[in-house]
Structure 1
Amino acid sequence: MSGLPYDSCCGRLHSGAASAQTAEQLMRSRFSAFAVGDPEYLVKTWHPRTRPESLELEVDQRWYRLDIISTQAGGPFDSAGVVEFEAFYRSPAGAGSQHEVSRFVREAGTWLYYDGVSQP
């Protein structure tokens, strides 16, 4: 967590007032988009080759914590990066998590989520 209020952190990215400077920052903002229920931001930051035409979020699933496990490249001067994370949620079925290794690419100065592989 950045420790910043939503409007000073991910809210600025979600509104379009700022853009992610690193792959990890984009990953954090995408997690926040799941947490606040913003599928439009998720689709907008998904690479056109791999993104779905539409995205519906589980309304009963509440995302509450993101742990970044590792990052590879994905800095302000890189064109690609990898972020391994575990995201935690609660739903009517109970608590759970998603552990994923995600790939990001930067095109025309904009970081985009490319794809991810779920981990056991």
Structure 2
Amino acid sequence: MVTTRATVARAPNGRRCDATREKRRAHVAVRARRGKGFLDVLRGDADEDGAKGEGGASAKTRATSSSERCPCGGGSEALTYGSCCKRFHDGDAYPEDPVTLMRSRFSAYAKGKGLYVLETTHPDNPLLKEGSKTKEGKVVSTLAADVEATCKKVRFYDLDIVRDVAGKKKGDEREHLVGFKYKCRVVAQKGFNELPEETHAELSTFRTVDGVWKFVDGIQGST
């Protein structure tokens, strides 16, 4: 999933935010372009103030039991979290294919497992290498900060895999495309109402590194 920097409006120290600015920051940017994963869900145009925003999974979602259905849907068998993605998040196993990796990353965002998202990101991911930048090229945030923010303030659910296609092969490296749709909602902040549910689509690229699959980037609004 694409990495999105949260830009939800906030009023620190009780300072009042004007309605236009609040709406602009809270809006979920959905553009058919190259992105970095689920973080793009919350990212509007990069700006220095927005880099401090939120974006990810609520505390209530992260606290769900291992016996409940996995956030990724649990596949055709509707497996519980404990029988599905938890073993990947705990480091007891690693996904053997791109679709499973994609599902486990989706669940990681839903469960607040930011470190897992970082560990399964390809070294060539633009945001991992260079961070979030303004239009002028100024670095305003890192992938780690964006993932942490997203995991705190966005709920992800209703994942649907719609495409699974082998891509190019370069030497020992293999590439794979996974298209999917999902729903998300920016959770309420103090002083603000919870935002409406959003439906998104993404076509993600995965590539092998030393024989294991990693997320490279994604195109928002495309499957």
TM-score range, shorter-chain basis?
A: 0.7 to 0.9
Alpha-carbon displacement from aligned partner over 1:25-71 (angstroms, at most 9, x marks no partner): 00000000011111111110000121524132332321121011111
In 1: Cα distance, 2:103 partner to 2:149 partner: 17
RMSD of aligned alpha carbons: 1.8
Residues 97, 32 of structure 1: alpha-carbon distance in 2 compared, 3 angstrom cutoff: same
Equivalent residue, structure 2, for 1:56? 148
Q: Name the aligned partner's letter for residue 73 of structure 1.
A: A
Whether 2:146 is the aligned partner of 1:71: answer no
Q: Which residue does the alignment assign to 2:221?
A: 119
Contact 1:23–1:81 at 8 Å: present in 2 too?
Answer: yes
**Residue of structure 1 equivalent to 2:81:** 6
Q: Indicate whether 1:25 and 2:117 are aligned.
A: no
Instruction: Give the structure with the higher percent strand.
Output: 1
TM-score, normalised to structure 1, is: 0.88
For 2:160, give the aligned amino acid.
D
SS of residue matched to 1:111: strand
Report the residue type matching 2:89 in the other structure: H
Q: Which runs of 5+ in 2 are unaligned?
A: 1-72, 129-142, 168-172, 187-193
SS in 2 for 1:67: strand
Q: Distance in 1 between matches of 2:80 and 2:211?
A: 26
Q: Structure 1 stretches of 5 or more lacking a match?
A: none
3-state SS of paired residue (1:21): coil
5 Å-filtered alignment, 1:78-93, equals: 79-91=174-186, 92-93=194-195
Larger CA deviation: 56-65 vs 6-15:
56-65
Question: Secondary structure of 1:57's partner?
Answer: helix
1:36 aligned to 2:111?
yes
Alpha-carbon distance between aligned partners in 2 of 1:98 and 1:56, rounded to the nearest angstrom: 20
After TM superposition, which residue ranges in structure 1, 4 or more long, deviate above 4 angstroms?
none
Q: What is the one-letter code of the residue matched to 1:79?
A: R
Give the TM-score of the pair, scaled to structure 2. 0.49
Answer 1 or 2: which has greater helix percent.
Answer: 2
The verdict on how the C-alpha distance between 1:84 and 1:46 changes in structure 2, with shifts beyond 3 A counting, is: same
Considering only CA atoms, is the larger Rg found in Structure 1 or Structure 2? Answer: 2
